[in-house]
Amino acid sequence: MVNNPAEFGMLLGAHMSIAGGIDSSVDRAADFEMNALQIFSHNVRSWDTRELTEEEIEGFKKKREEFGVDYAVVHTSYLLNLASPKEDLWEKSKKGLVEEIRRAHLLDIPAINTHIGAHTGSGLETGIDRLVEALKEIETTDVFENSSVKVLLENTAGEGTKLGSDFAELGEVLDKLDYPDRYGVCIDTCHGFAAGYDFATEAGLEETLEEFDREVGLNKLDLIHLNDSVGERGLHKDRHTHIGRGEIGNEGFAAVVNHPDTRKLPFILETPKEKLDGIEADRVNLDKVMDLRE
């Protein structure tokens, strides 16, 4: 008998591959009895996006219903840089984000999750201005206006010149946008820990969430990426590892999955796809998270 997150009152799943068609991601999630799922909406190593087929779209929706995958989110392409000072990349990134919204809408997926970009040397404030300008332009598109897809901004580890490692930056960006209801935030525990926030203890989490509430607002928190961290706190290293096997550890994840402000949110694993003692790592990580749930 496999543990099922619904029995724990949780929305829990992982990022799953779309190889073989978007709808096959739901089969993969169902194999692990996940009730939440994150996908890419296309091959994210390329700017070219193949149009989704009617078969995939219908298959995706039907399978989600059939297998009880109650939550789904699209993770945008890593090629996007909405804060780029380079005109061509910035233009492509805006089009890219609109395309992600369009595809999520077609698939009945309520949200896309995106990294907010890197200033690549132009400076933090210039990067933020650029990002806000990009999002405001996106807000005027028919695709944005004719859908209700939410755009979730993900915190980062703060590697290089990436924006969004500081909750205050996310708050600043959100304050400047014109459709507050269409935006939310995703906290990635590995990224937050690498950026210096304490996710390893109950007291640390309490403090971290208080700061998030001050800078962004807990009502904006829509999604949690559950990833342990290979690197120590504050090292700005974005290296995910299995739940409980990194520097955040069991105590930290027990706090995250049980805290009254986070326990009802969807939890998505982005932990390495490999085998642990002969068992699929997704299975091991899902079981670990349910084990920590009170």
Q: What residues act catalytically?
A: 45, 75, 78, 115, 154, 188, 191, 225, 238, 240, 270
Residues that bind Zn ion (CB under 5 A): 154, 188, 225, 270
CA dist., res. 294 & res. 119, Å (int): 41
Query: What is the smallest separation between the CB atom of 233 and Zn ion, expressed in angstroms?
Result: 17
Query: What is the smallest separation between the CB atom of 154 and Zn ion, expressed in angstroms?
Result: 5
Query: What is the smallest separation between the CB atom of 43 and Zn ion, expressed in angstroms?
Result: 16
Residue 56 or 151: the one with the smaller Cβ distance to Zn ion is 151
Residue 166 or 270: the one with the smaller Cβ distance to Zn ion is 270
Residue 56 or 226: the one with the smaller Cβ distance to Zn ion is 226
Query: What is the smallest separation between the CB atom of 7 and Zn ion, expressed in angstroms?
Result: 26
Residue 63 or 268: the one with the smaller Cβ distance to Zn ion is 268
